[in-house]
């Protein structure tokens, strides 16, 4: 299919009518990044109700490693729907739950015996990982990182480190959560990545003196790559040294792989790049191709520390979602999508670095596997964040038929969460659309357009 740009302006008339209805019956807090009402989707292509075609580099915020409506997932879901849709696993167990936990335990990094337990969302899995850590250690405190995102329920939101739009006016938050810096090479005052790592870990050790005694800390909760925080890839030494500190003090290491897992970085789990075996690993998003499902995977003795009925929920491990997840695992293996993620990431990094050479507003290009981002700044010397530029890049890209997402604590990062099944020609088309959008935005604005952007 040749490139087809949307019929601008957007939204089209049918999308506009539906969005107008939405404004009347849904709160403004439930906003949308793109004024595009989806009619159908396949692979990495989305069609809206006005007949416009878009290349989807948002991937349902990272839920669609195997793409929209993969035939294997659709078949697995359809077959499970004809059997049964729900029993509550704690009331009447079913094999598809067991089969998925077997595979997750087998895929978990490290050699220690593993078990897995299923939930509905990433935030719910984070909350239950915290419960398990506290029950196993008998300790109350947690340590998280600046720039982290772990979800929106109250414990997860406490761990999350961004006020707007997530935390404003929602306090008070949960007690006994302490925060230290995450190694952010681009914004570090130190030229050497090892110095950046040393500084952050010194703040952790300092916290044991100033804020919380280490023998009261149950767990450190960490994203192997910051997701919402801006796709920040830590220097190689950070996670191994963090794991050493945790072991020295009897603190559990919880890896939040909700966004990084299921092949996004070119490995099944991002921690595998760093040679780290977390005590607990939290998975979600792409686990079931967008159906509500998440998991906590970890050392068997930790998951067995809670008595019967101590963790669970009515809908957790829904059989339809479990069937989808088993299909996802088959697809990842049979279509070699981890290797595909590496190749996609190489193309993205090369294209974005070439663009960076031409466009001074791109301060940094970074990524791990297909988890790639561009950070926009007003000035490369001061590195002042430029969120308005990102807004305009996303808008211009959408006009060219490419859907993008922002990230970063200042909202000045464009992140790529493209389905790993994207066709090469579609990826080329998307990269061309992004390049044209960035080049247009990177030029100085005409005075009249600049006034509109500032006022808007």
- Residue 323 exposed, middle or buried by CB count within 10 Å (0-12, 13-18, 19+): buried
Beta bridge partners of 55: 45, 402
Q: Is the pLDDT of residue 453 over 60?
A: no
Let me know if 131 is a catalytic residue: no
CA distance 18 to 14: 6
> Rounded mean pLDDT of the chain?
95
- pLDDT tens-place string over residues 376-421: 999 999 999 999 999 999 999 999 999 999 999 999 999 999 999 9
How confident is the model at residue 454, as a pLDDT?
A: 35
In this structure, is the dihedral angle defined by the CA atoms of residues 231, 236, 237 and 239, taken in order, positive or negative?
positive
* 48 counts as catalytic: no
**Residue in 54, 119, 145, 149 annotated catalytic:** 149
* Domains of the chain by start residue, with CATH: 13-66+338-345+383-455 (3.90.1150.10), 71-334 (3.40.640.10)
Query: According to the model, what pLDDT value does residue 155 have?
Result: 96
Gap between the Cα atoms of 86 and 265, Å rounded: 33
Q: What is the DSSP letter of 150?
A: -
Burial class (CB in 10 A: 0-12, 13-18, 19+), 193: middle
Which one is catalytic: 285, 352, 364, 376? 285
Cα 436–chain centre separation: 26
Q: For residue 23, what are the CA distances in angstroms to 16, 31, 39, 213, 403?
A: 11, 9, 19, 49, 22
pLDDT of residue 3: 54
Q: Which residue of the set 48, 50, 56, 256 is catalytic?
A: 256
What confidence score (pLDDT) does residue 355 get?
Answer: 97
- Rounded Cα distance, 110 and 4, in Å: 46
The rounded distance, in Å, linking the Cα atoms of 375 and 284 is 26
Report the C-alpha gap between 399 and 109 in whole angstroms. Answer: 42
Averaged pLDDT for residues 251-280: 98
Given a cut of 60, whether residue 167 has pLDDT beyond it is yes
Q: What is the mean pLDDT of residues 195-214?
A: 98
For position 413, what pLDDT does the model report? 98
Kindly tell me if the per-residue pLDDT of 449 is higher than 50.
no
Strands 405-407, 413-416: pairing is antiparallel
Question: What is the pLDDT confidence band of residue 31, given thresholds at 50, 70 and 90?
Answer: confident
The whole-number pLDDT of residue 451 equals 43
- Contacts with 178 (C-beta within 8 Å, 6 or more apart), sequence order: 141, 142, 143, 144, 207, 211, 212, 217
Query: Would you place residue 344 in the very low, low, confident or very high pLDDT band (cuts 50, 70, 90)?
Result: very high
- Clarify whether 256 is annotated catalytic: yes
Among 283, 282, 280, 311, smallest CA distance to 298 is for 280
From CA 378, how far away is CA 384, in angstroms rounded? 6
Calculate Rg over the CA atoms of the chain. Answer: 22
What integer pLDDT is reported at residue 5 of this predicted model?
Answer: 74
**CA–CA gap between residue 18 and residue 39 (Å, rounded):** 12
Q: Own/partner pairs for 244-251, CB < 8 Å, 24+ apart?
A: 245/201, 245/204, 245/205, 246/220, 246/279, 249/208, 249/214, 249/215, 249/217, 250/137, 250/215, 251/137, 251/143, 251/214, 251/217, 251/218, 251/219, 251/220
Distance CA 267, CA 18 (A): 40
| Neighbouring C-beta atoms of residue 374, cutoff 10 Å | 28
Interval 322-335: pLDDT, tens: 999 999 999 999 99
Q: Which residues of 131-150 are buried (b: 16+ CB within 10 A; e: fewer)?
A: bbbbbbbebebbbbbbbbbb
Beta-carbon contacts of 389 under 8 Å, excluding residues fewer than 6 positions away, are 361, 376, 378, 412, 441, 442
Least confident range from 22-26, 38-42, 439-443: namely 439-443
Q: Rounded to whole angstroms, how far apart are CA atoms 207 and 446?
A: 50
Whether the predicted pLDDT of 188 surpasses 90: yes
Are the beta carbons of 93 and 318 closer than 8 angstroms?
no
pLDDT of residue 444: 60
Q: Per-residue pLDDT for 350 more than 50?
A: yes
Which pLDDT value is given to residue 8?
76
Tokens 């979602």 sit on residue:
321
Work out the pLDDT band at 443, boundaries 50, 70, 90.
Answer: confident
- Residue-wise pLDDT for 295-330, tens only, equals 999 999 999 999 999 999 999 999 999 999 999 999
């Amino acid at each position: 299919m040749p490139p087809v740009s949307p019929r601008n302006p957007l939204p089209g008339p049918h999308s506009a009518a539906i969005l107008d209805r939405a404004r009347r019956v849904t709160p403004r807090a439930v906003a949308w990044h793109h004024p595009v009402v989806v009619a159908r989707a396949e692979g990495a292509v989305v069609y809206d109700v006005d007949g416009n075609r878009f290349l989807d580099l948002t991937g349902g915020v990272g839920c669609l490693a195997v793409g929209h409506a993969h035939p294997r997932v659709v078949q697995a879901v359809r077959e499970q729907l004809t059997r049964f849709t729900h029993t509550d696993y704690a009331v009447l167990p079913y094999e598809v739950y067991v089969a998925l936990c077997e595979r997750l335990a087998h895929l978990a990094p490290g050699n220690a015996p593993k078990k897995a337990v299923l939930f509905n969302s990433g935030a719910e899995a984070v909350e239950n990982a915290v419960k398990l850590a506290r029950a196993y250690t008998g300790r109350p405190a947690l340590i998280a990182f600046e720039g982290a995102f772990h979800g929106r329920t109250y414990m997860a939101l406490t761990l999350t480190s961004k006020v707007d739009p997530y935390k404003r006016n929602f306090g008070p938050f949960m007690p006994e959560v302490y925060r230290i810096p995450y190694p952010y090479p681009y914004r570090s005052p130190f030229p050497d990545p090892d110095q950046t790592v040393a500084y952050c870990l010194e703040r952790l050790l300092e916290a044991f003196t100033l804020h919380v005694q280490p023998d009261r800390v149950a767990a450190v909760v960490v994203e192997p790559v910051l997701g919402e925080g801006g796709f920040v890839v830590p220097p190689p030494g950070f996670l191994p040294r963090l794991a050493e500190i945790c072991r020295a003090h009897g603190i559990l290491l919880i890896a939040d792989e909700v966004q990084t897992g299921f092949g996004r970085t070119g490995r099944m789990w991002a921690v595998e790049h760093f040679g780290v075996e977390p005590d607990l690993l939290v998975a979600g998003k792409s686990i079931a191709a967008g159906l509500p499902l998440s998991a906590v995977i970890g050392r068997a003795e930790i998951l067995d520390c809670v008595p019967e009925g101590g963790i669970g929920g009515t809908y957790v491990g829904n059989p339809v979602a479990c069937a989808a997840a088993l299909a996802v695992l088959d697809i990842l293996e049979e279509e070699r999508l981890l290797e595909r993620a590496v190749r996609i990431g190489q193309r993205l990094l090369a294209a974005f670095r070439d663009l960076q050479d031409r466009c001074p507003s791109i301060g940094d290009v970074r990524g791990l596997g297909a988890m790639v981002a561009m950070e926009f700044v007003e000035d490369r010397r001061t590195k002042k964040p430029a969120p308005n530029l990102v807004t305009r890049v996303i808008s211009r890209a959408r006009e060219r038929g490419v859907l993008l997402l922002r990230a970063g604590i200042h909202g000045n990062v464009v992140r790529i969460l493209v389905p790993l099944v994207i066709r090469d020609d579609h990826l080329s088309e998307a990269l061309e659309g992004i390049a044209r959008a960035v080049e247009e935005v990177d030029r100085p604005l005409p005075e009249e357009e600049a006034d509109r952007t500032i006022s808007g």
